[in-house]
Amino acid sequence: MAEGKNRQWILQARPTGTLTGDEFRWNEAPIPQCADGQVLVRNLWLSFDPTQRGWMSRDSYLPKIPLGEVMRAFGAGQVIESRRPDYKPGDLVQGGFGWQDYVVTDGKGFVGLRKLPAGVAPNLALSLFGITGTTAYFGITEIGQIKAGETVVVSGAAGSTGSIAGQIAKIKGCRVIGTAGGKEKCDWLVKAAHFDAAIDYKSEDIGARLSELCPNGIDVFFDNVGGTVLNEVLARINLKARIVLCGAISRYNEATPPPGPANYFNLTAKRGRMEGFIILDYASRIPEAVAALGQWQKEGRLVQKEDIAVGLENAPRTLMRLFTGENFGKQLLKIADPG
Ligand SMILES: NC(=O)c1ccc[n+]([C@@H]2O[C@H](COP(=O)([O-])OP(=O)(O)OC[C@H]3O[C@@H](n4cnc5c(N)ncnc54)[C@H](OP(=O)(O)O)[C@@H]3O)[C@@H](O)[C@H]2O)c1
């Protein structure tokens, strides 16, 4: 039996507007006991995802996190104790382990349990091969249906999901323009991720720059942001355009949803399609995405950035970084090294 304590962050209040950190309470509990059919996992790495802001507030594709429970999050860890034949101590695993040091799981429900692919480090399992890399893959190929020669725009392009979506579109022969906040991110998009151009939405006129960079219109928009950029793209779509609604981070902190995009009716004139999706719909096809992403990375055709915070005590302020754009790449937090 593991000895020590289980440090946790508990959700104690629902957020209103921008996160402050007061939504969470630090707790120290005993390490949970492992029963028959369960494993005890030591959490090593946490993934930070904008959707966690939604899980704190409202019922959506998952029920909201009940107040008084450990903050929900994806993580990667190591089996410490196993009372099932298919897992042994030392195995590296991933699941919805939450903001805590230890978790017991029978593999069911949100917590789940999955072994890391052989040779894949825990951080990579949560970044390129995790939620964001696989979301980019299925979003741009299945929902976006990109074809060589098309013009693709990606918002939130220097982020974990956006940077991979845009690079896949480049690999498939598209012309790709990204929007991101700040010169450093825009320079990285063009120089390191090989986008054709980048627009700094914080200092440039998005509409004017889209007209300049997409003189023949936009065929596919992979949207992570919503709001102004979505509206400006809708005004410039081509016949049969596809708008991939991956996320809308510009509105996640809004207590009252802002009005919808004024230019939506252009979808009718252009016979366009606007479609949302959730990566959980593609759970059974994750190995396909991991294989393709791994191959492109090995060939040097796909780069990715990770932004790594350290220490479970820093979890709340690490989540806040996603909403200020402080993160540059996949936001992770390292709790401990494997034993
Ligand atoms: N549908 C799905 O299944 C699914 C799965 C995963 C992720 N997503 C969505 O994908 C999007 C990106 O997630 P991620 O995990 O890859 O995070 P990320 O892009 O690595 O980080 C979030 C980024 O959003 C940008 N941002 C924050 N507030 C903004 C605002 N008000 N306006 C414009 N940009 C803002 C910031 O970049 P800048 O510095 O450029 O502003 C920030 O770095 C999110 O909308 C998320 O909900 C959807």
Residues 82 and 216 in one domain: no
Model confidence, pTM? 0.97
Pocket test for ligand 1, best of 49, 57, 58, 224 (most atoms within 8 A of CB): 224
Q: What is the pLDDT of residues 239-283, one digit of tens each?
A: 999 999 999 999 999 988 888 899 999 999 999 999 999 999 999
Are residue 153 and residue 262 in the same domain, yes or no?
yes
Please report, for the domain that includes residue 169, its CATH number: 3.40.50.720
Is 172 inside any structural domain? yes
Tokens of residue 335, six digits: 């709790």
pLDDT in tens, 95-117: 999 999 999 999 999 999 999 98
Q: What is the rounded distance in angstroms from the CA atom of residue 217 to the CA atom of residue 241?
A: 9
Total domain count, the chain: 2
**For residue 221, what are the β-bridge partners?**
153, 243
Q: In the prediction, which pLDDT does 317 show? A: 98
Examine the domain organization and report whether 209 and 180 are in the same domain.
yes
Name the closest-CA residue to atom 7, ligand 1: 132
Q: What is the pLDDT of residue 339?
A: 86
Looking up residue 93, the CATH number of its domain turns out to be: 3.90.180.10
Distance (Å, whole) CA 286 – CA 304: 18
Ligand 1 site residues (CB inside 6 A) read 49-51, 131-132, 135, 156, 158-162, 180-182, 185, 224-225, 246-250, 277-279, 322-323, 325, 327
State the pLDDT at residue 258.
Answer: 83
What are the beta bridge partners of residue 276? Answer: 245
Do 120 and 154 have their domain in common? no
Give the per-residue pLDDT at 111.
94
> In this structure, is residue 75 part of a structural domain?
yes
E strands, the chain, in order: 5-11, 24-30, 39-47, 75-82, 92-95, 102-105, 114-115, 151-154, 175-180, 197-200, 218-223, 237-245, 273-276, 306-310, 330-334
At residue 43, the 3 state secondary structure works out as: strand
Distance 156 CA to ligand 1 centre (A): 6
CA 49 / ligand 1 centre spacing (Å): 8
> Do 171 and 82 fall into the same domain?
no
Domain of 244 in residue numbering reads as 131-280
Residue ID of nearest Cα to ligand 1 atom 31: 250
d(CA 269, CA 326): 39
270 Cα: distance to centroid of ligand 1 (angstroms): 27
Q: Are residues 81 and 115 in the same domain?
A: yes
| Nearest by Cα to 137 from 170, 161, 110 | 161
- Asked if residue 289 is part of any domain, the answer here is no
Q: Quick check: helix, strand or coil at residue 274?
A: strand
Please report the atom of ligand 1 found closest to the CA of residue 278.
3
Determine the distance separating the centroid of ligand 1 and the alpha carbon of 260, expressed in angstroms.
19
Q: Is residue 290 part of a domain?
A: no
Spell out the per-residue pLDDT of the chain, length 339, in tens: 566 899 999 999 999 999 999 999 999 999 999 999 999 999 999 999 999 999 999 999 999 999 999 999 999 999 999 999 999 999 999 999 999 999 999 999 999 999 998 889 999 999 999 999 999 999 999 999 999 999 999 999 999 999 999 999 999 999 999 999 999 999 999 999 999 999 999 999 999 999 999 999 999 999 999 999 999 999 999 999 999 999 999 999 998 888 889 999 999 999 999 999 999 999 999 999 999 999 999 999 999 999 999 999 999 999 999 999 999 999 999 999 998
What pLDDT was estimated at residue 255? Answer: 84
Looking up tokens 């918002």 gives 155
Atom of ligand 1 nearest to the CA of 158: 40
